Amino acid sequence: MPIEAIEKRASLSDIAMERLVDAVSRGELVPGERFQEAALARQLGISRGPLREAIRRLEGRNLLVRVPHVGVMVASPSPEEILDLFMMREALEGLACRLAAERMTDGELDEIDAVLARHGEQPDVTSGNGYYQFPGDQDFHYRIIRGSRSARLEELLLGELYHFMRIFRYQSSVEPGRAQAAHTEHVDVARALRRRDPDAAEAAMRLHTAHARLSIARAVEQARARHGDNRDRGGTDRGNKDQE
């Protein structure tokens, strides 16, 4: 296969992967729900070849799971697993931010400021409906982790955990008032980085991730309360069972 064809296929797979992650983030694909490949390809507007490759990649990162005799589903981590991920994130991203304050170049800090300026103009952020960040260089957290110059932190935070955390970061931002607050917290982190203050940068990032964790915790409690109400009323519909 020519190099150009391989590169094009890789690019299409990347697009398919991002559309899958976006669909999970926005609740269009529900955890625990089985999906048909052909229908999903039509829904996302992508061909089945790149979609299959994207599915395999996301299975490798445990975002999707393949159940024998059933098919492919969105992974459904428990509330405890989600909160554990956020606690890991709080510690690891705090460390990454501390290192980034010492190691990022002035040019990289300028790029972070530009990214945050674009984020601040997003209609969903200004209206408080959510805070969506595209992957890679358009992702504030991604830039800081790369700026830490720590191969191990990159491996941990930009490998298997990356798409999980992007999904839960977005879902935590849809709580009323959270999107604008998250953007303000990002600006606080960027200012600490600009001052080259490792202590302040780590503290600002830990505060930001702690707020996101609390937002997710509230969402988990609300979901548990709703499921409890359904059980009290004798609700036995399949949708509720699948989510418990």
Taking the C-alpha atoms of residue 133 and residue 23, their distance in angstroms, rounded to an integer, is: 13
* C-alpha span between 243 and 241 (Å, rounded): 5
Contact 115, 138 (CB under 8 A): yes
Residue 34 parent element (H or E): strand 34-35
Q: Measured between alpha carbons, how far is residue 167 from residues 12, 22, 106, 153 in Å?
A: 21, 8, 30, 19
Residue 206, C-beta contacts closer than 8 angstroms, at least 6 positions apart = 90, 91, 93, 94
- Please state, as a whole number, how many other Cβ atoms lie within 10 Å of the Cβ of residue 108: 16
Amino acid 222 reads: Q
pLDDT band of residue 231 (cuts 50, 70, 90) is: very low
Using CA atoms in the order 204, 210, 215, 218, what is the torsion angle rounded to 10 degrees?
Answer: -150
Could you tell me the pLDDT band of residue 153, with boundaries at 50, 70 and 90?
very high
29 and 23 Cβ atoms separated by less than 8 Å: yes
pLDDT tens-digit profile of 101-139? 999 999 999 999 999 999 999 888 888 778 877 777 789
The confidence score (pLDDT) of residue 236 equals: 37
> Which of 24, 63, 20 minimizes the C-alpha distance to 171?
24
pLDDT in tens, 200-225: 999 999 999 999 988 888 877 776 66
pLDDT of 81 reads 86
Q: How confident is the model at residue 10 (pLDDT cuts 50, 70, 90)?
A: low
Q: In the predicted model, what is the mean pLDDT of residues 48-65?
A: 88
User: 114 or 47, which is more confident?
Assistant: 114
Of all residues in the chain, the percent with pLDDT exceeding 70 is 87
Tens digit of each residue's pLDDT (9 = 90 or more) over 60-87: 888 889 888 888 888 888 878 888 888 9
* Model-wide pTM > 0.85: no
Ramachandran angles phi, psi of 197, nearest 5°: -110, 95
pLDDT at residue 141 greater than cutoff 80 = yes
Residue-range domains of the chain with CATH: 3-74 (1.10.10.10), 79-225 (1.20.120.530)
CB 144: neighbour CB atoms within 10 A? 26
Q: What is the per-residue pLDDT for 41? A: 86
Structure confidence at residue 234 (pLDDT) = 46
Residue 89: its H or E element: helix 79-103
